Structure 1
Amino acid sequence: MNRHKFSFRTIPGWVYTLTIIGVLYATGLHTEVIGQVQRLLLATGLKNAEVPSVEDTVPTSASSTSTLASKAGAGFEMKDVEGRVVSFESLRGKVIFLNIWATWCPPCIAEMPNIQSLYEKVGSGEIAFVMLSVDRKGLDKVKKFIDRKGFTFPVYLPISQIPEEFNSPSIPSTYIISPEGKIVAQQSGMAEYDTPEMRNFLLKLAKKTTNPLTPTT
């Protein structure tokens, strides 16, 4: 009588693959794994963020009135990871780097390290970072994620409805807003932001943009 001995070699490869995928999804690690793979893509430089010309973003004195009439994020309120309420309009007068993300979004996770690097290099009193999480499970999950990753850029969750001008069919989405409240650049999908072009753009925008409330002579 023949007895068949069990051997792992007889198990088809697809069974191992499905098992690994199942474990990753069951533990929630699939987001991290996919994010790390996409991060390698960003490292190639093929997904650098598009950077406009600073000269095309600075309003002239003739257009200052219309700029004041349409400020991005007017009336929008957020809370930081400590639960403090912050008005988006309180950041007016600064260049704002707004990134909309979520902990369950692999492309968001992929680009966050390079955003952290950008923040460390240019974040200042003139350039404000707003990492706006749209996680529905709330503040605790977001705070634990940020702490575990060691990110130090400012993170917020929306309190009021996200303004229509920041609505995007996908995340991550990034908006750069001038001190006058004008959206001067927008990026849908993940990108590499810590580039010389982006750093120079943000710094020059903060330096060259004048206060539209100041009368010209």
Structure 2
Amino acid sequence: MIPSLSRYDDWRHAVAHFRAVAATLVFYGLAWAILVAAPPASAGPPSIVTPVPLRDLDTLIAQTERGVLVAMASWCGPCKAELPHLVKLHKHYHGQGLALYGVSVDFAGAQAMQPMVNRFGVEFPVYWVGEAGVERYGLNPIPMLVFIQNGRVVDRLQGAHSEEELRTIFDNFLTPREP
């Protein structure tokens, strides 16, 4: 039930209350989506670019056995060139235990990346971290691939790559290493 505005001293208090309630709902919804939900195994609709607090992305990284963060932005030409290859390769490597996560660094917010995600049919999760994420995770320059193994960043690769290059890179990443 939504309380009537007469309960509040003025409209600013009502707006503050509704913002607090909305923020709480968004936080718990995102936490559930990141920590509980798995990316779809089969073809489906494009992902929804989701803003996430950095601590939630830290948790996702810590829980990733083998994955790649794809740092990108809607204004980045090389990102647009590489993204269709990543979409195609996600379908191939998802069944082999490789998780791909898009990380939007658009300063304009999550909505800036959504048209690009829709255009290319990106099915792997895409999270928006903005400027704070660029600094925290060293996501400059873009595009950048950040390789995660057993919860730790093990490598970074800058620049756009062809589908063949990415296939070789992912194959090497998935190949077990001898101690």
* 1:74-118 superposed Cα distances (whole Å, 9 cap, x missing partner): xxx9x8836474433234242120111101010111111111121
Greater radius of gyration (CA): 1
Moved more, 124-133 or 134-143: 124-133
Partners of 1:169 and 1:202 in 2: CA distance: 22
The answer (yes or no) to whether the contact 1:177–1:184 under 8 Å persists in 2 is: yes
Q: Is 2:124 the counterpart of 1:132?
A: no
The residue number in structure 2 matching 1:148 is 119
The equivalences for 1:81-160 within 5 A come to 81=48, 83=50, 85=52, 86-91=56-61, 92-124=63-95, 126-158=97-129
**Cα distance change on mapping 1:122 and 1:105 into 2, 3 Å:** same
Whether the aligned pair in 2 keeps the contact of 1:94 and 1:125 (CA below 8 Å) is no
Partner in structure 2 of residue 171 of structure 1: 142
Q: Which residue in 2 is equivalent to 1:184?
A: 154
Task: Report the TM-score when normalising by structure 2.
Answer: 0.58
**Residue 156 of structure 1: SS of its match in structure 2?**
strand
2:70 match: secondary structure: strand
Instruction: Give the gaps of 5 or more residues in structure 2.
Output: 1-30, 35-46
- Structure 2 Cα separation of the partners of residues 83 and 111 of structure 1: 21
RMSD: 3.3
The size of the alignment, in residue pairs, is 131
Q: Secondary structure at the match of 1:162?
A: helix
Counterparts of 1:132 and 1:158 in 2: how far apart (Å)? 7
Give the Å deviation of 1:131.
1.0
Give % identity. Answer: 22
The answer to which structure has the higher helix fraction is 2
